[in-house]
Chain A
Amino acid sequence: MTLSYSPDLLRKLFSMMCLIRFVEESFVEPINNREVLCPCHLYSGQEAIAAGLGVSLRSEDLAFGTHRSHGHYLAKGGNIDAMVAEIYCRETGCSKGRGGSMHLVAPREGFLGAAPIVGGTISLALGAAYAISVRRQKAVALSFFGDGATGEGVLFETMNFAALKKLPLILCCENNLYSTHMAIREMRHKPDIHDIAPPQGVASRQVDGNDVFACYEAGKWAVEHCKAGYGPVFLEFMTYRQRGHVGPDDNIQGTRTDIRPAEEIESWRKRDPLAVFEAHVLQNNLLSSAEIQQIKTETQKRVVEAHHKARSAPFPDGKEVSNFVFTN
């Protein structure tokens, strides 16, 4: 199936995965040396999901994110300079230093915001789907959330209403097996999360979240399903975060709060979405290693540039702390 993908699509998928990975990894040092203070929930390991979905989306499609949304923001078309500056909490950031890493926003690109209250944006995406439906737009709304959010009642309330009104809502559950530091298997009666959707009238699929092609296909199907008027879709992406719940390593073996078994971390590391992609395209002669290297080099340059710009930008002026509370 992947053999039919155009080189352009392959480059897009890989560039986005690289961009997300390199940005995330570029923050490890600034976090560790406390240049970046705001809580950063790194997306390393989960890039295939955002990248795979992103190529099927247009700016009129509306998405909401979570605490771990650097990847969602970028894949939805958000500007990298504005995101990096926001993580440094500078005036030039996408939220003008008021929000930090957990409150990214790119309205023109259809990324309407992100918030760390678990499940907090699920019903907001329902509202966006409703708005799209009322306005008779050919567009979809996306809600990104994690496995932990399946504990919140609002998810079930949202699914029922979206199905009832056949709203164009894609519920993207990224199951990285841990709700912060707690194993999701210890918090759910049944492990298969995608099974919760059909009883609510929501079409559902489980997807390999480390395989960008699978993510791309699932996203394409979901968008078509919604745009055809068939109602909401639930996608459970099986994946794993390579970094801590918050910060680079708060959940890695050997640290104070580790809970994840070393073998588990290692087995998922072998299925790194970027490495899986590279191996596949090289094996099948879909992209050359020179092309891959070029994408990596260019992307790395872009990331370094964004850090330079952010670091030289000013912090917000303390006198302006109360700006933006109301419109006027």
Chain B
Amino acid sequence: MAINEAIHQTMAQDPSVVLIGQGVKSPWYVGNTAAGLLERFGAERVVDTPVSENAMTGLTVGAAIAGMRPIAVHPRMDFMLYAFDPIINEAANWRYMSGGAMSVPVVFWGIINRGGEQAAQHSQAFHSLFAHIPGLKVVAPATPYDAKGLMVAAIQDNDPVVFIDERWLYSQVDIVPESLYSVPIGKAAVRREGGDLTVVASSYMSLLAYQAAEKLAENNIQIELVDLRTIKPWDKETVFSSVRKTGRLLVLDGSWNTCGLAGEIISSVTENEFTALRSAPARITLPDCPAPAARTLEKAYYPDTDTIITVARDLVKKPK
């Protein structure tokens, strides 16, 4: 609902903001996040589309180049792969290719919907893939406050922003300010201060990390939790200064291991803060394996708070 409020308010304020995607009028698709938009703004600005991800996403890119501020919603991120061409070849490159003459203020909103034995094509998290592309900004909120604030920031940004959220976060309830506020892109949040170990996470992993940190505190292990909020450009200074304080780093990534976000953060910290590190950094990611169906395999596949607690304890125990 926080995202819903962000879209309501930005659409009310700016007539060039439009929402385009599959199922924007069906409660079955994006849940409550599109509620009331069609009734309030009409079918011209809230467009329900055929199952044509490539052309519909291309449309939002073209409309953005032509001066609109569209939001392209993909209720299931896996289907967004059909739209890689307009997102990567066109939107991400357009400004640079035109020597800055044009910009592409579009939001690509992808929702990760996983678990429940949905298997490989209904589970995937592609933040690292998008973050790899020059010209794309990538945000992944973990709290209702950030969901609204980052959606507003993404809409108001003059460049293409991939906004990624997780259905696993949709049960979180919080009171967010009614006003139209934004959360700056590129700024992390320290969710918890502590001196023993820096944990860097984003999206759903931040929620798990917070729960793990609370439990670890009972055993006198103090975690400093950095919630990235923006995957690209990620907030290096906040992460670096935390590592300088704790000397230890654990990165949590809700996607695969190889060439992923966790590897990127660890290598940047190692390059820049090598002398601050008291032990080798560690990462918790998904295994390099497609998402399985069976519940027993899902339990082995997705990290939980216990996984984080075990690895964190091990890291802190390591000799200085």
Contact = CB atoms under 8 A, between A and B. Distances in A.
Interface of A: 37-39, 89-91, 95, 97-100, 102-103, 115-120, 148-153, 179-182, 186-188, 245, 250, 256-257, 259, 315-322, 325
B300 A318 contact: yes
B50 A100 contact: no
Interface of B: 22-23, 26-29, 48-55, 78-79, 81-82, 116-122, 287-290, 292-297, 299-301
A38 B117 contact: yes
B122 A98 contact: no
A177 to B, nearest CB: 14
B118 A100 contact: yes
Q: Which 4 A-B pairs have the closest CB atoms?
A: A318-B300, A151-B50, A100-B293, A38-B117
Given A97-B292, A316-B292, 11 more contacts: A89-B117, A97-B293, A98-B290, A99-B119, A117-B79, A148-B50, A180-B28, A257-B27, A315-B295, A316-B297, A321-B292
Given A89-B294, A97-B297, A117-B79, A149 B51 contact: yes
A98 B297 contact: yes
10 contacts: A37-B116, A38-B116, A97-B292, A98-B290, A102-B118, A117-B78, A149-B51, A316-B296, A318-B297, A322-B289
Nearest to B119: A100
A39 B291 CA distance: 14
B119 A321 contact: no
A319 B300 contact: yes
Nearest to A246: B28
Given A97-B294, A117-B79, A317-B296, A38 B118 contact: yes
Contacts of A89: 117, 293-295
A259 B26 contact: yes
Given A103-B120, A148-B50, A321-B287, A257 B296 contact: no
A187 B295 contact: no
Most chain A CB neighbours (cut-off 10 Å) among B118, B122, B293: B293
Nearest to B117: A38
A38 B293 contact: yes
A321 to B, nearest CB: 4
Given A316-B297, A325-B289, A117 B121 contact: yes
A37 B117 contact: yes
B291 to A, nearest CB: 9
A186 to B, nearest CB: 8
Contacts of B288: 322, 325
Nearest to A39: B118
Contact of B119 (A102, A150, A153): A102
Contact of A151 (B29, B51, B287): B51
Interface of A is mostly: loop
Contacts of B28: 180-181, 245, 250, 257
B121 A102 contact: yes
Contact of A316 (B22, B50, B116, B294): B294
A250 B27 CA distance: 11
B289 A115 contact: no
A91 to B, nearest CB: 8
Contact of A257 (B26, B49, B53): B26
Contacts of A119: 51
Contact of B50 (A95, A120, A188, A319): A188
Contacts of B82: 117, 152
B54 A153 contact: yes
Contact of B290 (A102, A151, A319, A325): A325
Contacts of B117: 37-39, 89, 100
Contact of B51 (A38, A118, A245, A315): A118
Contacts of A321: 287, 289, 292, 297, 300-301
B60 to A, nearest CB: 16
A318 B299 contact: yes
A120 B179 CA distance: 42
Contacts of B293: 38, 89, 95, 97-100, 103
Given A39-B116, A100-B118, A115-B121, A153 B52 contact: yes
A185 B289 CA distance: 39
A103 B119 contact: yes
B22 to A, nearest CB: 8
Contacts of A148: 50-51
Nearest to A318: B300
Nearest to B116: A37
A115 B294 CA distance: 16
Given A89-B294, A318-B299, A321-B301, A152 B26 contact: no
A119 B22 CA distance: 15
A153 B57 CA distance: 13
Contacts of A256: 27
B123 to A, nearest CB: 11
Nearest to B75: A180
B289 A179 contact: no
Contacts of A115: 121
Contacts of A99: 119-120, 293
A173 to B, nearest CB: 13
A322 B287 contact: yes
A277 B294 CA distance: 37
A181 B51 CA distance: 12
Given A89-B117, A116-B122, A318 B26 contact: no
A39 B122 contact: yes
